[in-house]
């Protein structure tokens, strides 16, 4: 019989951090409160609510979906099973985009495959003068992105459709960013761990993992202003192939950037001013 938080934490098969996060959600309190009140008696309804969340976690459901929130670039983003769970690696994509437009006033920015909106919303908040548009082929994902933009106070436009085949407005963009699905459809990891719960269309392009990247790189020059930048995230072993796609499409200053693990994770390039 569980009577206190201390007893519950001691009895839980979950890692201590996860059990604490679930208790914070059940009680609606910060971490410090849990420490100060770990000997307080719990209500049976609170114990039952905790046990329901614990059972979901033990069944493998990602903690971000159970809590409905994940931190990215210092802000809390709402997440649902309709969107990819934000990854820390994607902060590199945001940093790459911010560097690309740092010398521009009121840059025009396009985020392809926005998911929960982490990239577009962060760019709009870090560069309040930017005109940001975000797209996705999933209407459910766009609903989540819109909610995050509203809650975090970011101003941006959203469009629904297949990559560039959507309402983009007339302007050439100074920056296109994308973290597209890039896992090979045959990759066994898709059937393991957290990935089992994430939307398949956010993880894999249904082909060799480079198909979405090919389409994005191929279409970018038609939507970039002269001198505009394209920055894309990709898999740990795809950097050379992605650089090759950029170079064959006529991009200049092509380079890949490494994430905190030293892996080439983001590739960028600039459309030459005289591109034709």
User: Which residues contact ligand SAM (rule: CB under 6 A)?
Assistant: 84, 86, 90, 113-116, 118-119, 135-138, 141, 162-163, 179-181, 201-202, 212
Nearer to ligand SAM, 42 or 97 (CB): 97
How many helices (H) does the chain have, and how many strands (E)?
Answer: 11, 9
Tokens of 94: 């945001």
Nearer to ligand SAM, 131 or 138 (CB): 138
Nearer to ligand SAM, 12 or 179 (CB): 179
Check whether 161 is labelled as a binding-site residue.
no
Nearer to ligand SAM, 37 or 214 (CB): 214
Q: What is the dihedral of CA 148, 154, 155, 156, to 10 degrees?
A: -50
Q: How far is the CB of 108 from ligand SAM (least distance, A)?
A: 18
Check whether 86 is labelled as a binding-site residue.
no
Check whether 107 is labelled as a binding-site residue.
no
Which residue do the tokens 């100074």 mark? Answer: 174
Cβ burial 180-204 (10 Å sphere, 16+ → b, else e): bbbbbeeeeebeeeebeebbebbbb
Closest alpha carbon to 59 in 161, 177, 193? 193
Whether 266 contacts 231, CB under 8 Å? yes
Q: How far is the CB of 136 from ligand SAM (least distance, A)?
A: 5
Check whether 97 is labelled as a binding-site residue.
no
Check whether 113 is labelled as a binding-site residue.
yes
Whole-number Å distance between alpha carbons of 35 and 20? 10
Q: What are the residues facing 78 on neighbouring strands?
A: 69
Count of CA atoms in the C-beta half-sphere (13 A) of 14: 23
Q: How far is the CB of 97 from ligand SAM (least distance, A)?
A: 12
Alpha helices (runs of H) in 153-210, residue ranges in sequence order: 200-203
Check whether 114 is labelled as a binding-site residue.
yes
Q: How far is the CB of 4 from ligand SAM (least distance, A)?
A: 38
Nearer to ligand SAM, 172 or 201 (CB): 201
Check whether 148 is labelled as a binding-site residue.
no
Q: How far is the CB of 207 from ligand SAM (least distance, A)?
A: 11
Binding-site annotation, residues for substrate:
179-182
Binding-site annotation, residues:
113-117, 136, 163, 179-182
Binding-site annotation, residues for S-adenosyl-L-methionine:
113-117, 136, 163, 179
């Amino acid at each position: 019989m569980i009577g206190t938080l201390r007893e519950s934490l001691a009895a839980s098969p979950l890692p201590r951090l996860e059990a604490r996060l679930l208790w914070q959600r059940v009680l609606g309190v910060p971490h410090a409160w849990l420490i100060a009140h770990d000997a307080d008696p719990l209500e049976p309804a609170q114990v039952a609510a905790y046990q329901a969340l614990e059972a979901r976690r033990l069944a493998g459901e990602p903690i971000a979906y159970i809590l409905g929130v994940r931190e990215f670039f210092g802000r809390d983003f709402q997440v649902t099973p309709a969107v990819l769970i934000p990854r820390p690696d994607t902060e590199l994509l945001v940093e790459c985009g911010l560097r690309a437009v740092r010398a521009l006033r009121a840059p025009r920015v396009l985020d392809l495959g926005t998911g929960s909106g982490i990239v577009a919303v962060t760019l709009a908040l870090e560069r309040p003068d930017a005109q940001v548009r975000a797209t996705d082929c999933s209407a459910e994902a766009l609903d989540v992105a819109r909610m995050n933009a509203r809650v975090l106070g970011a101003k941006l436009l959203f469009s629904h459709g297949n990559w560039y085949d959507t309402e983009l407005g007339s302007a050439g963009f100074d920056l296109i960013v994308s973290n597209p699905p890039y896992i090979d459809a045959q990759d066994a990891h898709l059937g393991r761990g957290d990935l089992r719960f994430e939307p398949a269309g956010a993880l894999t392009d249904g082909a060799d993992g480079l198909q979405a990247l090919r389409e994005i790189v191929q279409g970018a020059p038609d939507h970039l202003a002269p001198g505009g930048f394209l920055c894309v995230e990709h898999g740990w072993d795809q950097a050379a192939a992605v650089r090759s796609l950029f170079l064959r499409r006529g991009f200049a200053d092509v380079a890949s950037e490494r994430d905190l693990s030293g892996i080439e994770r983001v590739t960028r390039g600039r459309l030459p001013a005289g591109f034709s």
